[in-house]
Structure 1
Amino acid sequence: MANASLISAVANSTENWNDNGTVLHMEFEPADRWGFWVKQVMTPIIVAVGIIGNCFSLIVMKSVALRHKSYSHYISALAVFDSLTLIGRQVGTVNEYYISQLKEPGLFSGFGYTLCKLFNFLEHTCYLMSSWLIVLMAVERVFAVCLPFKQCIIRKESGAIIAICALCLIVSLTQAFRFVMIGSINGACEAEEEFLVLFTALDIYFYQVTLTFVIPAGIVLLCNSLVIHQIFYVIRKASHYNESHSTRYTRVVSKRHKTSVMLLIVSFSFILTLLPLFIFTIIIDISVKTKGPGAYQIYRKMLPFHELCIIISLLNYGVNFFIYILWGRSFRFELRKIFMRERTSSYIATRTKEEIIRL
């Protein structure tokens, strides 16, 4: 959810006219710049840590022990698209710094119409893929926990790959309007003037509100509720057995659902990190509709908090690796094996070199 779309919404909806009938120039500079500087400092840190974590996640999920699991393909794809999203956010942050602080042309000043359209399309497609891959993971867990004996294509290795490819195609089609409406405007990749009102509506309500948060969060909450209910049902069922059988049965159930708990936490972290930015967008939209020209002053005062919401949402794309470490026993085991293998290889190489020197 970018600043540009909200600024366009405020500028188009408040209708700030002076006595001569001309539109007043609206310089969206907040009274306090702390939000801008917090974002400039925190974004590179989150991006660097997140990309490193996503790379490790991808390596672990492609290990021999996990590569044949259906959920490993969803996690691998999520790591890729989360990393691309982080890179896109960092590019946007640097571009904002060039324009706002250095008073120089942005990073997109050399882009023509084609490159602007392509970059904008790919950037927002990656954002959506990160959200909807969480949905696929949530749906896969419903079948894994609630219908463990039912054959389902998304629980198979080949089915997971097909589902990810189909999702990428559908998401790409939803963002096709960017190829028509985006252009190179004064050195920036923005909507062309003739499409500005329509593009703002599509970008805020269709993309930001509906596709990025409302529908994915709704599906994830429904699926997670079914999974949690089933897990507690199985645990309660285990308590009806005799004590020795119950202990063994509970241990089996706990081991079986460790992956489900890990993916549930990933799903809930997606909702919690994007929720503040979603609420901010709704507040500004209501302000535009009710306050009219006064929405400009409201947005100007709240802009630092918008920057803070962006930082919180950025955590969604870099925190999963740490969730896997804390809650994924198999993940920790495979990650440990990778580091042990590297240390063993280094030790063997060093020892062989010393033996050659002695000879």
Structure 2
Amino acid sequence: MFDVTTDTFAVLNGTTSNTEFNGTDTTWKDANTAGCTYWVCNVIVVIIGVVGNSMVLLLMGDVKFVSFSYPVYLRFLAVSDSVVLIMLCVRETTRRFQSTYLIGTNLQVCALSKFVKDTVTLLSPWLVVGLTVDRFFCVVFPMKRGRICTRTKATIACSCLTILSVLTMFPLLGGAKILVESEVCFVKDTFVVYFTFIRLILTASLPCLLILVFNIVIGIHIQRSVTFRKRFTSTSSGSRENKQDRSLRPLMLISILAFVTLLPLSIVESCALILLATNSDIKVLKIIAELWSPFNILNLVNFGQNFYILMSSSANYRDIMKRKLRCIKIRKQHERTRVARISMNVQAPAYCTRNTTV
């Protein structure tokens, strides 16, 4: 059972059992524990995503990015997305193997785990919005880029988004409850409407809308710039500007694919809530429930795709990553040689040393 639907059952029924929707509750439970295939896919996506996010931290730590603002958003995203993936994997694993005794019996652990999971789930899409807005200013207002798109302001923006996410989810620390019969962690009935609004509007619908609008404006502005350069600039100048346009593509892909992966699950959950609120036929809910597992896997992809988008869409990022991995390998060899006290003097190449200047 995913949180929004199960909590909505509570608010519609006024209790967690003994109502006409009790059979629907079982339907959603069966849909979410569809079997070994769903759990294996979940674990694979989480492992690949966490590895990719770790690589983003390594990649964005390169000295070449020291003067840019977007690496700040990508590093915040890497940490936030990794926490989302790990916590969702733990949740699905405990449900799959019916080992919810810790979270499902301890109210403090239940409240804390729910608070952390929902906070980072809310934070991640808004960090993508922040990255999209940052690129919007760079493209639409290039003359103000040096003043607006700075690392300091990007850090402040990410920190403010983190604080707002924490404050938004803070009521959940005192708004959790445990269903003793099933050992499942829910929110209290009084918080269901509040939590549902956050999940469907603030976590999915509104970020998706903002990402879509800003990317449309960015795309239109880039196309107009390309048309203008073809008419009034030389070939060499146009080629140089086209390189700048290509450098934006990976970052635009990150925000666009975030929109693509977030939207389907949001639509499914919204439809489920509408059907529940209107007391619709259980068979219709069952059909929607069958879509939840694949859409949830697609939603998980959003939290682990950034590194692979960067690698597949930019040769520059691939070259930097190869150099970083080569340097790590050389440093390890040098460290083993030094510890073993071998007389051979192995030194890392000059490009492997960390510079403090651009």
TM range (shorter): 0.7 to 0.9
Structure-2 separation of matches of 1:161 and 1:15 = 44
Q: TM-score, normalised by structure 1?
A: 0.84
Q: Relative to 1, partners in 2 of residues 1:167 and 1:152: Cα closer, same or farther, differing over 3 Å?
A: farther
Residue 201 of structure 1 corresponds to: 193
The answer to whether residue 198 in structure 2 is matched with residue 210 in structure 1 is no
Residue 304 of structure 2: aligned partner: 318
Q: How far off its partner does 1:282 sit?
A: 2.1
Whether 1:108 and 2:96 are equivalent positions in the alignment is no
Secondary structure, aligned partner of 2:97: helix
CA distance in 2, matches of 1:115, 1:32: 26
Q: Is the 8 A contact 1:36 1:304 kept in 2?
A: no
Identify which of 318, 321, 328 aligns with 2:314. Answer: 328
Partner residue, 2:92: 93
8 Å CA contact 1:142–1:223 kept in 2: the answer is yes
Distance verdict in 2 for CA 1:56–1:71, change over 3 Å: same
Residue aligning to 2:186: 190
Residue identity (%): 21
Taking only aligned residues, the RMSD between alpha carbons, in angstroms, comes to 2.8
The secondary structure found in structure 2 opposite 1:273 is helix
Q: Which of 258, 275, 286 pairs up with 2:246?
A: 258
> In structure 1, how many angstroms separate the alpha carbons of the residues matched to 2:68 and 2:110?
38
| Residue in structure 1 matched with residue 327 of structure 2 by the alignment | 341
* 1:257-297 CA distance string (max 9 Å, x none): 2332111111111111111111111221232233x162x34
- Change beyond 3 A, Cα 1:32–1:90: closer
Matches within 5 A, 1:6-45: 6-10=5-9, 12-13=11-12, 23-24=19-20, 25-26=22-23, 27-29=25-27, 35-45=34-44
User: What is the aligned partner in structure 2 of residue 70 from structure 1?
Assistant: 69
Match of 1:170 among 160, 164, 186: 164
Task: Tell me the secondary structure at the aligned position of residue 185 of structure 2.
Answer: strand
Partners of 2:240 and 2:205 lie apart in 1 by 36
CA distance in structure 2 between the aligned counterparts of 1:325 and 1:50, rounded to whole angstroms: 14
Aligned equivalents of 1:189, 1:15: Cα separation in 2: 17
Counterpart AA for 1:4: D
Task: Give the CA deviation at 1:163.
Answer: 0.8
Gaps of 5+ in 2: 345-358
| TM alignment of 1:107-186, pairs within 5 A | 107-111=102-106, 113-150=107-144, 154-186=148-180
Sort the Cα spacing of 1:298 and 1:153 in 2 relative to 1 into closer, same or farther, 3 A.
farther
Q: Could you tell me which amino acid in structure 1 is paired with residue 26 of structure 2? A: F
Q: Secondary structure at the match of 2:26?
A: coil
Matched, 1:240 2:234: no
Distance, in Å, in 2 between the alignment partners of 1:105 and 1:74 is 34
Shift of 1:237: 1.1
- In the TM superposition, what whole-angstrom CA distance separates every residue of 1:239-265 from its partner, at most 9, and x where no partner exists? 1146xx22x122211221233211111
Using the TM superposition, give the Cα deviation of residue 176 of structure 1 relative to its aligned residue in structure 2, in angstroms.
2.2
Q: Which runs of 5+ in 1 are unaligned?
A: none
Shift of 1:160: 0.9
- The amino acid of 2:167's aligned partner reads L
- The number of residue pairs the alignment matches comes to 337
What is the CA distance between 1:5 and its match in structure 2?
Answer: 2.3
